[in-house]
Amino acid sequence: MVALNLALQVACLVVIGAFIRKRNIVDESFETNLSRFIMNVALPAMIINSIGKGINSENIGSLWLIWGVSIVFCLAFILLLGHLLFLALGRGHLARVARMAAFIPNFTFMGIPVISSLYGNAGLVYFNLLVVPVRLTYYLLAKPLLDPTGGREKTSVKQKLKNIFSPLVVSVIIGLVLGISGLQLPVFIDKTISTLASTCNALGMVMCGMILSRVQLKDIFSQPRVFVITAVRVLVLPAVALVIMIFVPIDPMLKKVVIMYCALPAAAMIPSFVVRYDNVPEARTAASVTVFTSTLLCVATLPLWYAVVEAVIK
């Protein structure tokens, strides 16, 4: 019931975002600025708030385990599966989109609100720490994974550092420092951060709706193989994660978070990266439709995966 109510809430917020963008109640500049606000203010506040209050000197030892799981499974293993999908789909524009969609779920606009609602602050701490290695590689790998040339153009050290040390990564560092040191922020600052953090869930879902509003109905069935990508993203990957996590001797909460991470839809930013690195009609359509179909399907699949995870992982 918890997951079903969450799914319905997600659907409502996504529909609101799509509606207000489709009807031009807000324009493209608002969408752009809202994305910047979420990425640079609301999400960092939520990360600082959850990690700062969830990590302490007693449980810091689990940090290395979480990052180990992230690197081995969320990065290396899933990237391998994504590359196999890339090979199976013929190495073209659609295949590059498929590899990126398999590799990177929507852990920002969708993942954080979902995990927060399902597992509270305990799950959110695990989740925010789990995606740190993913965040560090996300921007660095977007070009090599999507660019037809393989992204062999040189990038300056300054730009690489800027990509790595984004506000979201810096906020993780701040949260760790606060949690481990036991430092207490002044009450008014703590309340300000908590208030900003509370805006993240709703705004993230509305933002998803705005992004999905760009998809035209005729585009959805123009490339049937996109549905293969969607099925891999929301059905195959969480199924693989479930099987593996059953046999991995780690905290059950971490297992649940990993599986739900894999059950998330394709990252909302993939169409933007495609426009930047592989700007052809086939790739743009495939990216937009993949995000659209995987997000809509997740309204049904997330509650199902939550029920399965709760029944299997004890």
In a domain, 62, yes or no: yes
What is the reported pLDDT for 210? 87
In a domain, 279, yes or no: yes
The pTM of this model reads 0.88
What is the reported pLDDT for 275? 81
Residues whose CB falls within 8 Å of the CB of residue 263, separated by 6 or more in sequence, listed in order: 234, 237, 238, 241, 298, 301, 302, 305
Question: Domain tally for the chain?
Answer: 1
In a domain, 224, yes or no: yes
What is the reported pLDDT for 266? 94
What is the reported pLDDT for 231? 95
What is the reported pLDDT for 163? 66
At 34-51, the pLDDT tens digits run 888 988 899 899 889 988
Query: Which CATH number does the domain housing residue 254 bear?
Result: 1.20.1530.20
CB-CB contact of 267 with 107 (8 Å) = yes
Range of the domain at 208: 2-309
In a domain, 75, yes or no: yes
In a domain, 314, yes or no: no
Give me the residues of the chain with pLDDT under 50, please: none
Distance CA 308, CA 314 (A): 11
In the structure encoding, which two tokens stand for residue 116, read together?
A: 């927060």
What is the reported pLDDT for 1? 64
